[in-house]
Each structure stands twice: as C-alpha cells, then as structure tokens.
Amino acid sequence: MPAPEDGLGLGIETGGTGSSWCLSASSGAIVARGEMEPMTGHVFTLAEHERVAGIFARLASEIAGIGRPEAIVAGITGLGPESAVTAVFSGILATAFGCSEDGILVVDDMWLGYRARFAPGEGIIVYSGTGAIGYHLNAEGEIIRAGGRGVLIDDGGSAAWIAAEALRRLLRREDEAPGSGWDSTLGHALAQALGGASWDAVRTYVYGGDRGSLGLLARAVAAGAEAGDATAIDIFTQAGEELARLALALRAHIGAKPVVLCGRAATLSPLIAQRFQVLVAPPVAQDEMQVDVPGCAARLACELAHANEKRF
C-alpha cells in the first residue's frame, strides 16, 4: 500500500488485442498493475461507448481499495491528434474514477509509446501491432507520422496485414489449384486457427470479427514460417520491408534519427527485424522488451498531478 502522503497516478495503454494499466505512487513506486479488455479510439456507437465505460468502471472498482488516482494518463490506440474522441474518453474516465478532467490527459498510444523510449526530438519509432505506423515527436511537440491509416487502406507489416496477406495468397492458390492452399503447412496452421479449411470458415472469422481478431491470425502465419512454409517466410520478409518503408519515409523528412522497431507483431518472426535492419541503415536502436509503457503513463500522471497541485 502507498504511504498516506503519496499521491497516485494511473497510466493506461489500450490496444486492439489487449489493454493494460499501471498505478504508481508519486515516489515512483509501482503500486499495482494489470490487464483489461481491448479497446480503441473508435467509440463511434452507443454500444461501444457503453462497453468502454464499463471496462473503466470495473477498473475503478478494482483499484478502489488502494486509493483514487489524482491524475490519469491514457494512451488510446487509433486516436488522431485532433480527435473529438479525446473529450469522449476524458469524460468516461472522469465519471468512472470521480476525478476532474483537469487531471486527465488522453493521448494517442503512439505518443505514449514514443515518450517511453525517446525524449521529444530524439528518434523514430516504427510500431507493428494490430496496425502499423511510423512516428516522430519533435522538440516542439509536433507529431510527424507515416502510415497508420488502418487495415482497410494499408497498415503494411502489421499483424492484420500479415494475416490478410496470408489469406489472400492461400485463397488465390486455392482458386488456381483447389486443395493446394489448405494442404500446405501454412494452410494447416490457418485452418486450425479459423476452425476449418473452407471459404465459409474464412468468411465467418474475418467478416464476423474485427481487426483485432484478424490480427490474431498472424500467430498462425508465424507457426507456418517457423515450420518452414515458404509462403509464410516470404510474408514476414515482406513485412520487414513494409515497416522499413515507414522509417525511411520519416527519415526523408527529419534526417537520420535513431529508429526503434517495436510492437508485438514485430516479434512474431525474426525475419521481420532481420529484413528491417538490412534496409534501415544505422542508427537502428534495439527495442527493449522491458519498455514499460503503462508505467511511463503512470509516471507522467504523477507529474501531471504535481503540476496541478503547483498551479492551484
């Protein structure tokens, strides 16, 4: 339990396949942390608004025995820099935790991921999760992006792109030689994940779910690559090329800053980082899997609480 004089800061990081939180004392000590259901900034329907509000209400109840956070910093995936959804999330969090919106900072999850790795102006991050984006935060606070336009347009190199590319290649192979796609190593891995080896299984899974569930199929592609499937291996090599393109696009604007490749999808196969590092000339920084993004958010929340105390 934190000491009575310790204020609490709550950090939240959301994602399309999972979300996490961290509660920190102003002393810097981590008080508690945990996982939550996935969520994005796409709260465009009443049903999704209520679902997100319910998730935060349950989190508030879970940590009520520890104490009420004085400030909250939340990194929300899919949140644009001038999105009206920022105010929506601020309102939901204020209601759930009973705190003033002055003590709530809602930011793009990429802004938070950047701050966990670099000071403003220092480098570039290329993130591959359910989606993919290249991101730089300059010393003046301006955000410069490459990619990150969603799976319906691009997101090359992301988990959703890897899965869609595998299905596209498999189904085209089926068109040309029925049975040959599903009978491959990759086909067997995908069929197990889909619950069947048929167009109906693909259609039900892909169009009955969302981008997060599509992204989960990338694990089956990884299993295929690990087993030596040539198509899966080529997809991961191409994923590395797609992600390298984001880094190179940003360097064309801001110069040869250090680049970090990060995100869970980037670790699905070593082929991604290998190809990425070939194409992106040094400096390429090694991303440490120990980077604690929710912990960074919690620390920033404590700083926000302290700044508010001085202001008032």
DSSP string, 202-243: HHHHHHTS-HHHHHHTHHHHHHHHHTT-HHHHHHHHHHHHHH
| Distance (Å, whole) CA 10 – CA 70 | 8
Domains and CATH numbers, the chain: 8-116+292-311 (3.30.420.40), 146-285 (3.30.420.40)
Dihedral of CA atoms 138, 141, 146, 147 in degrees, nearest 10, equals: 150
CB atoms within 10 A of CB 149: 14
pLDDT at residue 285, rounded to an integer:
73
pLDDT at residue 259, rounded to an integer:
95
For residue 20, the cross-strand partners are 13, 35
pLDDT at residue 82, rounded to an integer:
61
Query: C-alpha distances in angstroms, 56 versus 2, 26, 244?
Result: 22, 22, 36
| Distance (Å, whole) CA 105 – CA 100 | 11
Q: Which parts of the chain are beta strand (E)?
A: 8-13, 19-25, 30-36, 71-76, 104-108, 124-128, 132-137, 143-147, 259-262, 284-285
| Distance (Å, whole) CA 160 – CA 166 | 10
Dihedral of CA atoms 33, 148, 212, 126 in degrees, nearest 10, equals: -50
Contact 11, 291 (CB under 8 A): no
Query: C-alpha distances in angstroms, 206 versus 156, 216, 299?
Result: 18, 11, 38
pLDDT at residue 288, rounded to an integer:
59
pLDDT tens per residue across all 312 residues of the chain: 555 446 899 999 998 778 999 999 998 899 999 999 999 888 889 999 999 999 999 999 999 999 999 999 999 987 765 678 899 999 999 999 998 999 999 998 889 989 989 999 999 999 998 889 999 999 999 999 999 888 889 999 999 999 999 999 999 999 999 999 999 999 999 999 999 999 999 999 999 987 788 999 999 999 999 999 999 999 999 999 999 999 999 999 999 999 999 988 999 999 999 999 999 988 787 675 568 999 999 999 999 998 876 665
pLDDT at residue 193, rounded to an integer:
97
